[in-house]
Structure 1
Amino acid sequence: MSRKLLLWALVAFTSKAPVAMAPLALVFSSRQSPAGYSLGASLASAYVVGEVVGAPLLGSRLSRSRMKPQLSVGLLAGALAFGALPFVRSAPAPVLIGLAFLAGAAPAASPGGIRAILTRLVTDESVPRALSAETTLTQITWAAAPGLVVLLALQVHAGAPLMLGALLAAAASILVLRLPEPPELESATSAVASMTRTLFSGWPVYLTSAASMAMLATAELVLPALLEERQVAVGWSAPLLAGFALASAAGAVCYGLRTWPGSVQAQSLVFLTAMAGCLVLVTVLPGMPGIAAGLLLAGIFQSGVMVTRNLSLRERLPARAHAAAYSVMYAVGGLGYSLAASFSAMALNLASPSAAILGGVAITVLITAVSAIAERNSVGNAIRGFR
């Protein structure tokens, strides 16, 4: 650890916390309005759509000019949108939806840009450990965010979580300017191969991100219904999901402690398959102990997916495309989460919660298989080209 890395960790936390808090904070901010939870769900959906749209559009520009000012402006715009929402709660729904969209879209390039800065602050040999540390920080933040939102919304004010998110995003917009500016990474071939084509070449890795987030959506959104089916209090869903996130943080620490056999691409596919198997266990093992065991194991393997997919993308694409590629992967992961959420909602209307989870796992396994075949073909083509 150094001063630069500690500063980076502070920037990462202050930029990630508003993202982790946003969906639930938007729901609580609208709870007492005439439209109630319906409006809150619409605002949360608009926020996620903003992230999905903003990440590739803004992230693709990070490699063209200085990165830090762009990240700072995006975070500041997101902070202003977050801060405005509690003060215009009585405004028409389209205005609120527009602000929620802006809050998601404006800083959407920051996860990819801040990760790219991290990988250039350390040596190549330390990148896996650094990305493991980032995953640990992310999972701890996600584990703490729901409880903090509920506490502030119920004990302080319905708009307090959004105001805290605005303050954290504003702090991140200032702190990011103190980080070292990544060097310009333009190569002689950049004029020949367009950035769009370069980014698209990483699509098998993006698929693993979509698969991982689809499984996460299936686990999170079907869990309350599964608990009811097993005659377990629905209130247990919060500590179970917090345990899932903390197990993922522990798994990230374990991954960073040593070098693992096989390529990062193979590791990613193994972790994805293991995570799917653990979610199947959730539907088979009896009672809450069985659900908890399956979720904790799935969380451990999910962290491996998160680290290895970042390493895979870093190996697959040139350095000048890393920041943009991380942003595209972030957007594809959000899309996978949204599609799985829609599937889960339909499945719960037609079948049992256990069947809904199994259906989500089956789709994820199919996506993983497509990604594995694409990775194998790309490696084969590279070998033939070398010969």
Structure 2
Amino acid sequence: MAAVIAAVGAASAPARSARFRPGAGEVPAPPVLAVARLAWPSYLGATGFMLGVTTLDVVVPAQLSRLGHDPAHAGLLLGVFALTGTVGGLVYGSRNWPGSASRHALLLVLVLCAALGVLPLLPGPWAIAALLAVAGLAGPPALIARSLTLQARLPATAAATGFSGLSAVAGLGASLAGMLAAPLLRSAGPAATLVTAAAVTALAALVGAAREARPPPAPVLGGADGTSTEG
């Protein structure tokens, strides 16, 4: 997953280098707050997504222990998630899919949320591995679709700022999961932790998708120079 985030950051490099190319007609960077007003639905979705994925890292060992299996096997199970995620990302990026990227992101994140909610019901490692294989196919494509949605909402002059923010909030989501999942795991157990993470991730995705379905606030970024036109 970190590799996907790095790729998202790298995608902004052409826009960044073009913006700062020396010579006449340089385009100034738009205000950060103006970019955030356009990008916050994607930021919210990415934060929730990474919270859900990182919760898996925290909870799967505890769930295996609860079922009477060696928690060290969690590394293998999460490796399955990462492996199928690589496949899913390559397949998603290899062609154009019907529908909007925003809808893809929502549907794929809901698949991940369903996996989080079902995982506590599974009887053993093999069933968990199968579930994580399916969830992995949806994981990286969801984040790729999220970055494509952001790209469509931002003018070219705001790409570097927007994608830098996307990488930052993805890290924030992972950090929040690390801080919140461990105490919840100790107090309420693996099942409650996974269901809570699924609910928070789904809520973030639904709120972000609802806002993306509406036209962006106007005017937020103005004209070819990328400066704010807000009053």
Would you say same fold, with TM above 0.5? Answer: yes
The answer for unaligned runs of 5 or more in structure 1 is: 1-15, 21-108, 121-180, 383-387
SS at match of 2:17: coil
- From 8, 11, 19, the equivalent of 1:184 is 19
Identify which of structures 1 and 2 has the higher relative contact order when contacts are C-alpha pairs closer than 8 Å and 6+ apart.
2
Q: 1:296 and 2:192 equivalent?
A: no
Residue by residue, what CA displacement relative to the aligned partner does 1:239-273 show, whole Å, maximum 9, x if unpaired? 11111111100001111232111000111101111
Shift of 1:193: 5.4
Q: Secondary structure at the match of 1:261?
A: coil
Which of 208, 219, 231 aligns to 1:371? It is 208
Whether contact under 8 Å (1:111, 1:327) holds in the other structure is: no
Query: AA paired with 1:362?
Result: A
| Aligned twin of 1:80 | none
Q: How many residue pairs align between the two structures? A: 214
* 1:246 alignment partner in structure 2: 83
Residues 326 and 225 of structure 1, relative CA distance in 2, 3 Å threshold: same
Aligned partners of 1:224 and 1:320: how far apart in 2?
Answer: 44
In the TM superposition, residue 192 of structure 1 has moved relative to its aligned partner by 10
In 2: Cα distance, 1:332 partner to 1:318 partner:
20
Taking the aligned partners of 1:238 and 1:352, their CA distance within structure 2 comes to 20
Deviation of 1:194 (Å): 2.6
Aligned to 2:178: 341
TM-score by length of structure 2 reads 0.82
Q: Does 1:310 align with 2:138?
A: no
Change (3 A) 1:216 1:192: closer
- Map 1:7-18; keep pairs closer than 5 Å: none
Partner of 2:223: none
Distance 1:334 1:193, change over 3 A: closer
8 A contact 1:207–1:368 mirrored in 2: yes
| Contact 2:50 2:173 (8 Å CA) reproduced | yes
Larger radius of gyration: 1
Deviation at 1:227, TM superposition (A): 0.6
- Residues 30 and 157 of structure 2 are in contact (CA less than 8 Å); yes or no, is this contact kept in structure 1? no
Q: Of residues 209, 213, 216 in structure 1, which corresponds to 2:53?
A: 216
CA shift in 2, pair 1:339/1:113, >3 Å: closer
Name the counterpart of 1:114: 10
Judged with a 3 Å threshold, the aligned counterparts in structure 2 of structure 1 residues 193 and 252 are, in CA distance, closer, same or farther, namely closer
Alignment partner for residue 275 of structure 1, among 112, 123, 126? Answer: 112
Give, in whole Å, the separation in 2 of the partners of 1:281 and 1:113: 32
Secondary structure in 1 aligned to 2:215?
Answer: helix
1:292-341 CA distances to partner (integer Å, 9 max, x unpaired)?
Answer: 11111111100111211111111111112212211111111111111122
Q: How do residues 89-168 of structure 1 correspond to structure 2 at under 5 angstroms?
A: 113-117=9-13
| Distance 1:311-1:221 versus aligned 2 partners, 3 A rule | same
Q: Which residue of 2 aligns with 1:260?
A: 97
| Cα drift, residue 381 of structure 1 | 7.7
Distance 1:332 1:112, change over 3 A: same
Task: Give aligned-pair identity as a percent.
Answer: 30
* Offset at residue 345 of structure 1 (A): 1.4
Tell me the distance in 2 between the aligned counterparts of 1:192 and 1:263: 28
SS of 1:182's partner is helix
State the match for 2:225 in structure 1. none
Shift of 1:277: 0.8
Equivalent residues of 1:112, 1:324 under 8 A apart: no
**8 Å CA contact 1:245, 1:299 repeated in 2:** yes
| Structure 1 vs Structure 2 CA RMSD | 2.8
Which letter maps to 1:275? L
Q: Residue 41 of structure 2 contacts residue 212 of structure 2 at CA under 8 Å; is this kept in 1? A: yes
Seen in structure 2, the aligned counterparts of structure 1 residues 259 and 351 have a Cα distance that, compared at 3 Å, is same
What does residue 287 of structure 1 align with? 124
1:330 aligns with 2:226: no
